[in-house]
Structure 1
Amino acid sequence: MKSIAGKVFFTAISVLYPVLVFCGMEFWGLSPRRLSILLLALAFYQFLNFTRNRGAGELGRANSIKAAVLVVLILVCGVVSFFADNILFLKFYPVLVNLSLLAFFGFTLWKKPSFVFRMANLGDKTIKTSPSRNYVERYCDRVTFAWCIFFVANACVSATTVFVGSDRLWSLYNGLFSYILIGVFFAVEFLIRKIMQSKLQSYVPVCDLELNSRPEGAVVSFDGESVKTWSDFTSDVSKVRSFLESRDNCPWILHCEDSYFFVVALLAMLQSGRKALVTANRQDAFIKEIKKPEYGFITDEPFGTAADGASLIQDILEGETSDTANLKFGKFDKSKAEMVMYTSGTTGEPKAVFKLFLQFENELFELVKVFGNDWVDHKVYSTVNHHHIYGLLFSVLLPIATGLPFRRRRIDFPQELAGLVNEKAVIASSPAYLKRLAADSDKPFDFKCAPIIYSSGGPLPKEVAERACELTGYWTMEIYGSTETGGIAYRQSKNGPVWTPFEVCKMSLGENDCLNVKSSYILEPDGFTTGDLVDIYDDGRFLLKGRSDSIVKIEEKRISLPEVENRLKQTGLVQDVRVVPMVGKRQYLAAAIVLNAEGREKFAGSTKLQMNNFFHDYLVKFIENTVSPKKWRYLEELPQNTEGKIRMRDVQALFGLAESPNFRILKFRRETGVLTAKLIFPATSDYYDGHFPEFKLLPAVVQVDMVLKLARNFLDVPKELSKIHRTKFANPIFPDTPVNVKISYDEEAGKVSFNYTDELGEKTLSNGSFTMNVGGLNG
């Protein structure tokens, strides 16, 4: 108690020092020598504090040095005043105090964090772990710098009053006006701080949202002139939650095209303890596969027989009553809330990826920490499906967690961006949309504030990102990740192709040199090994080098090649099949099919177009049309190497050769420098026109041309023919009669040799050789 009383007493003396000195001289008749005792007492008190409270660390040492210097200067002024009996040195005390505070505040700007930020952390323990920490720290640095300027100005005015003006002016300024200025400065800073706080990212974890987390009138979602407020949102979640809790506790499938309906239903499921099964695929056959009799189903658009018995969310909201005094809306345990997201697996069956909402919360925190400050005062728009993890996070969960309004409907066409030119917009987009934007837009959009654009689902070509920047004023921020891993890294391709991992993601090389990721939103202790080949740099950044597994992305939609293959086999007409990704003007899939006996019987006499349409129509029952194969080949057997393995690059080479009605490849095998193929030339082939009209034979020139086609496509021989050495045409090749051809290529000599035989390989039909122009050395 004595210690506290002493501190109060000496603090009062310090504050009232100018007034006490003035009164001592004007009213109490005290000499400067006697008044210097007051200054010496303050020096002694500062010395005691210095010796008792020596701090640790850089800030503590800086405070100790400041206190020691201040004690020495005050002591010097007090001693000089005592022996010289001069009032001048007594007046220097306020100047010394301002200079010591200036030194201390300035030191914390040099050795971060600043003093104001340290004080802010004492008042709010959550700042250090807040996603807005960087924003708060920058603001506190500016406030600290402003205080330094104030101390400089105050010290200068205080020093002026020492030498200029009367004792009364010195006492009034340092004992009254100086404190008023400090109060005004603090009040102005307080008002500015409140304004800044209102603009500050208001991040609340989704699992911690409560009725009072937002103002009742705050806009949650919008669609044209129609808006949904926080009051509407909490009421709607409460209605759906009441509906769920009145049913058995079972998993619920969720598919709502409307983003607002989706997040209402999702939060109702999580808050009521129901497992949410989120599926972007609403193909009838797919829903039947994942839906069990006891499962519930909430949707906003009825579709197919699989949705029979599904609950329309519109009916739930209209049918349930809402007791505003007792709304069912509040926190839930993120470590127990369960979700399942469906993605393509390597087995061909829909792959269910189990998630705890804890994983989403950890990722949301990281995303807000990295990107959140850019979103202040913006509205959120999306061109992507919120049933996928990227769309779920960026277009639904992030807006809910940060209090930013989001549009209920997706942006489908590039032209719709013209309606956003007056908005501050955040746009969750994809490479497919941005490619269309770059191709379809002639002139830049007149955005008053450049939109913030994100892209995920596949690498964005740099030329597309550059064109999108020309049109919108923003260089797209790309996000790399997957359903299993969440967001792994980000980049803007203007800075190069290298990816920067999020702070919580730890990169390493896993099996087969694929990327292994560990993070706070991956449950497995050993992390998750992706199918992506990478080079990892010393600073942690990495370069993607392609995929090693059978999961591919077509138009940014993830699809499993085995899934498509197994679906085709389910027709009962396919003996073997391989589906491969191809790249032309755009990405697409191609399917090479070997029919079984039932298939050959069914399609006997059918055209190829009819066969294509049959398999296509069957597939779109299970997968989206955009990822169904666009090219088809029907073979007698799939290409194999000597080990009996079917290689993707061989099948891709088959589709590299343009399809023609003049010939068909029935089967082939490719090894290094050698191709063997079985061909058939239909009677309707143009190759027979004009040659032997009464007795159709395949012309010699066509046979040579066919060899060149095959050699260039499968063996990568040079395009230019240099010299034909010899050809021998021993037996005719008739229409609709299968023949075999063997082509060999000697790369060193640039020599191509060929040999046509009958179907059994017993009779030679023709053979020959010729030289290709290799780098201009031959011929």
Structure 2
Amino acid sequence: MKSVAGKVVFAALSVLYPVLVFCGLEFWGLSPRRLSLMLIGLAFVHFFNVTRERAKDAEGTGRANVVKNISLLVLMLMCGALAFFADNILFLKFYPVMVNLSLLCFFAFTLWKKPSFAFRMANLGDKTLRVSPERPFVERYCDRVTMVWCAFFVVNASVALATALVGSERMWTLYNGLISYILIGILSAVEFMVRKIMQNKLHSYVPVCELLRDSRPDGAVVCFDGESVRTWADFVSDVSKVRRFLESSEKRPWILHCEDSYFFIVALLSMLQSGRKAMVTANRQEAFIKEIKKPEYGFITDTPFGDASAGAIQIQDILAGPAVEPLWNAFDKNAAEMVMFTSGTTGEPKSVPKRFSQFENELYELVKVFGDDWLGRKVYSTVNHHHIYGLLFTVLLPTATGLPFRRHRIDYPSELVSIAGEKAVIASSPAYLKRLAADTDKPIDFKYTPIIYSSGGPLPEEVARKCEGITGYWTMEIYGSTETGGIAYRQSKNGPVWKPFEVCKMSIGENDCLNVKSSYILEPEGFTTGDLVEIYDDGRFLLKGRADSIVKIEEKRISLPEVENRLKQTGLVQDVRVVPMVGNRQYLAAAIVLNAEGREKFKDQPKLEINNFFKKHLAQFIENTVSPKKWRYLEELPQDTQGKIKMRDIQALFGIPESPNFKILKMRREPGMVTLKLVFPETSDFYNGHFPSFKLLPAVAQVDMTVMLAQALLGTPDTVARIQRTKFSYPILPNVPAILEMTYKAETSKLSFSYTLEEGRPLSGGTLVFSGDENA
């Protein structure tokens, strides 16, 4: 209490000091010598405060406060002593100058020894700032505020000095006893208003597990789809409905697959808040669902997809029910359980158990690194939110930061034009960006430059450069996996090296592969990836291919990435994968996507000449015995919906005998399903003898092609028992690409197929029953 009283007395006397000096001279008839005793007394009050608070200062504002207090005390005693012995009022007028200079030194010192004084004051009002991902943003703002105050103290001290040296006592008193205080008030008011504006620009980041009913305004937009929006009030209501449904049944794990991002996050939060384990899967093939679904498991979806979704609960049916009382609470991130599924590079689905704390820790890191880029933006996606990258960037991050997100994915590059007027963050993939680069000839006139991320595989620098020309932004790539979360990031314009996130600690582990430890990897020993790596002294690293990319051909060790890089050195290759094949002997095969220069160079040239060109180039670097023996030239490498290129899919492509009668341009393969882009040249034998004046692909050839490709890519039986249904709506013409989609159900031995044009027009389709189930 004594300390507080001393501070109050010192503050009151300091504020009233100019008025007391003026009254003493004008009205009380006091001499400068007598008035100097007031300044000396004020110095002793300050000395009392300094000695009482010194220990506390050392722990709080630190040396800056100590230096300020002692300097001011010395100056006060000096001016008081000079005024006493000289009996001169001038020395008493220096006190406001000394106060301003001491405050200037103090504020400036905190800019040198961070954090700044303004940030320390902000932290008193919000203790979470020191550990918030918004801290860098707040610190920069507080630094600017502190610099403004430093400038003010310089100006105020200069004016105070001028009034002391050349102004009258009345002018000195008016400025230092009134005007300077008014200026301080005006500056404080302006800073308060600016601070409120800046607070509105903050991300409003709240960990998902700590979100409460009133964390957002009721009218805040959560998601949108065209003109339709869902607000925070709608979100709370919908989560409450699904929670009550879940809690009305026994506590059990729930499989979750919702194509609509809004339905997905509603169901996910309902599960987490009610203590249910969420099993998030993008794979909805019947065989896979049967593999992971136990009798006691529940299943929530928004999209019926055949027998695999039998017995699943439609989330739309739950939300269509009557309104319920809001049911919302924070949940324990360390106890909340999830399971994600990944196929990595093998193609075999694998479950990856997760604690929600792993996602929260990664969200924190992402907001800390990229958060400033997202201010005032909307979130769009071209990727699936059932995989970890899409889950984090397109669902959880918007929920945590309060950014509106679009409910449905952007599927085609042409759709980007429709959002050119928006401030957008786009979570994309190499597959989408490659299509954007290939299909777009001129820049898109974005009103605001979009922020674009890519993950799921390396993005060729050439594609990133072309996309920058189209969008104005050089894509930010994220490297990581389902097991590790995000590990590092880069923009390839700065080179091929990766910069790890601050919480990720890199080392070289078993077999020279990258080992990662981070706050979102639970295992204390970290996780060892399958990627070969070179780590630099500054912590950045270079990926050098996968450990399984070193193979033996003719007893010679060869690096597949080395062959790929040599092919890219021609300047004619946009993308390439080299894979080992096993026949009578092991050999290499290369799947190549030519860039614009390559397509122009090899236009109308026979395939043999193209092969020979690349063989001749490789002969400069590698022996002929390990040079690829088979070649395919595609529009796009085989990949899944996440843009991941799997070795076994490319090997399956080379397992299809090459034929002059057809050409495969693209392939996408998921368990039980494959989509191909095919073209039948005019010279194809399929057209011989059929309508010479108007060539079209015979129905028998379409069925035969379907059977051959299904056996090679889906593992169907060798014999077709019967054709259950066929329909031929429109002819397949020479040199016109056709999309063949095939879905095989092993339980019934049924293969459904359809041919369509690229724009979606149906050509033909049907159902074939193989010999595995002739009575189906």
Smaller-chain TM-score bracket: 0.7 to 0.9
Matches within 5 A, 1:80-99: 80-99=82-101
> Are residues 1:263 and 2:265 paired?
yes
Secondary structure in 2 matching 1:625 = strand
Counterpart code for 2:43: A
Quote how far apart the aligned CAs of 1:346 are: 8.2
Q: Distance in 2 between matches of 1:189 and 1:379?
A: 29
Q: Hey, what does 1:18 align to over in structure 2? A: 18
Q: 1:209 to 1:547 in 2, by over 3 A?
A: same
1:19-57 alpha-carbon deviations (Å, 9 max, x no partner): 111111111111111101001112222333344444448
Secondary structure in 2 matching 1:498 = coil
Q: Distance in 2 between matches of 1:190 and 1:608?
A: 72
Q: Hey, what does 2:592 align to over in structure 1? A: 584
Quote how far apart the aligned CAs of 1:116 are: 1.1
Q: Hey, what does 1:41 align to over in structure 2? A: 41
Secondary structure in 2 matching 1:587 = coil
Preserved CA contact (<8 Å) 1:591 1:629:
no
Q: 1:347 to 1:608 in 2, by over 3 A?
A: closer
Q: Hey, what does 1:535 align to over in structure 2? A: 534
Counterpart code for 1:250: R
1:584-615 alpha-carbon deviations (Å, 9 max, x no partner): 114333447999xxxxxxxxxx9999xx99xx
Matches within 5 A, 1:292-303: 292-303=294-305
TM-score, scaled to structure 2: 0.73
Q: Hey, what does 2:248 align to over in structure 1? A: 246
Q: Hey, what does 2:364 align to over in structure 1? A: 365
> Are residues 1:307 and 2:309 paired?
yes
Q: 1:575 to 1:300 in 2, by over 3 A?
A: farther
Q: Distance in 1 between matches of 2:9 and 2:101?
A: 23
Quote how far apart the aligned CAs of 1:61 are: 2.7
Counterpart code for 1:285: A
Preserved CA contact (<8 Å) 2:3 2:52:
no
Counterpart code for 2:591: V
> Which structure's CA Rg is the greater one?
1
Q: Hey, what does 1:231 align to over in structure 2? A: 233
Q: Distance in 2 between matches of 1:381 and 1:403?
A: 14
1:226-251 alpha-carbon deviations (Å, 9 max, x no partner): 00000111111111111111122111
Counterpart code for 2:482: T
Q: Hey, what does 1:200 align to over in structure 2? A: 202
1:88-144 alpha-carbon deviations (Å, 9 max, x no partner): 111110011001111111111122221111222222211111000000000000000
Matches within 5 A, 1:211-610: 211-319=213-321, 321-323=322-324, 326-344=325-343, 349-549=348-548, 582-585=590-593, 586-588=636-638, 589-591=649-651
Q: Distance in 2 between matches of 1:359 and 1:31?
A: 73
Q: Hey, what does 1:636 align to over in structure 2? A: none
Unmatched segments (≥5 aa) in structure 1: 554-558, 566-573, 596-605, 631-779
Preserved CA contact (<8 Å) 1:514 1:533:
yes
> Are residues 1:625 and 2:624 paired?
no
Preserved CA contact (<8 Å) 2:10 2:46:
no
Counterpart code for 1:12: A
Secondary structure in 1 matching 2:266 = helix
1:207-241 alpha-carbon deviations (Å, 9 max, x no partner): 11111010000000000000000011111111111
TM-score, scaled to structure 1: 0.72
Q: Hey, what does 2:701 align to over in structure 1? A: none
Preserved CA contact (<8 Å) 1:363 1:487:
yes
Q: Distance in 2 between matches of 1:259 and 1:26?
A: 77
1:362-417 alpha-carbon deviations (Å, 9 max, x no partner): 11011111111210100000000001100000011000000000001111111111
Secondary structure in 1 matching 2:328 = coil
Counterpart code for 1:472: T
Counterpart code for 1:7: K
Q: Distance in 1 between matches of 2:185 and 2:107?
A: 18
1:314-347 alpha-carbon deviations (Å, 9 max, x no partner): 111112x222xx3112211111111111112788
Preserved CA contact (<8 Å) 2:530 2:548:
yes
Q: Distance in 2 between matches of 1:626 and 1:504?
A: 40
Counterpart code for 1:259: S
Preserved CA contact (<8 Å) 1:590 1:629:
no
Q: Distance in 1 between matches of 2:517 and 2:672?
A: 31
Q: Hey, what does 1:687 align to over in structure 2? A: none
Q: Hey, what does 2:31 align to over in structure 1? A: 31
Counterpart code for 1:14: S
Counterpart code for 2:323: S
User: How many correspondences in the alignment?
Assistant: 600
Quote how far apart the aligned CAs of 1:65 are: 2.6
Q: 1:349 to 1:497 in 2, by over 3 A?
A: closer
Counterpart code for 2:162: T
Secondary structure in 2 matching 1:227 = strand
Q: Hey, what does 2:703 align to over in structure 1? A: none
Counterpart code for 2:90: L
Q: Distance in 1 between matches of 2:222 and 2:542?
A: 38
Q: Hey, what does 1:121 align to over in structure 2? A: 123
Q: Distance in 1 between matches of 2:225 and 2:654?
A: 50
Q: Distance in 2 between matches of 1:369 and 1:607?
A: 51
Q: Distance in 1 between matches of 2:504 and 2:323?
A: 43
Preserved CA contact (<8 Å) 1:576 1:594:
no
Q: 1:180 to 1:260 in 2, by over 3 A?
A: same
Quote how far apart the aligned CAs of 1:148 are: 0.5
Preserved CA contact (<8 Å) 1:580 1:591:
no
Q: 1:439 to 1:504 in 2, by over 3 A?
A: same
Matches within 5 A, 1:48-59: 48-54=48-54, 55-56=57-58
Quote how far apart the aligned CAs of 1:11 are: 2.2
Aligned residues with identical type, % of pairs = 70
Q: Hey, what does 2:9 align to over in structure 1? A: 9
Q: 1:526 to 1:296 in 2, by over 3 A?
A: same
Preserved CA contact (<8 Å) 1:284 1:621:
no
Preserved CA contact (<8 Å) 2:468 2:474:
yes
Counterpart code for 2:503: V
Q: Distance in 2 between matches of 1:627 and 1:269?
A: 38
Q: 1:494 to 1:550 in 2, by over 3 A?
A: closer
Q: Distance in 2 between matches of 1:342 and 1:629?
A: 31
1:731-750 alpha-carbon deviations (Å, 9 max, x no partner): xxxxxxxxxxxxxxxxxxxx
Q: Distance in 2 between matches of 1:24 and 1:253?
A: 84
Range moving further from structure 2, 411-420 or 484-493: 411-420
Preserved CA contact (<8 Å) 2:206 2:401:
yes
Preserved CA contact (<8 Å) 1:259 1:386:
yes
Q: 1:262 to 1:72 in 2, by over 3 A?
A: same
Quote how far apart the aligned CAs of 1:79 are: 1.5
Q: 1:576 to 1:401 in 2, by over 3 A?
A: farther
Secondary structure in 2 matching 1:298 = strand
Q: Hey, what does 1:633 align to over in structure 2? A: none
Preserved CA contact (<8 Å) 2:76 2:95:
yes
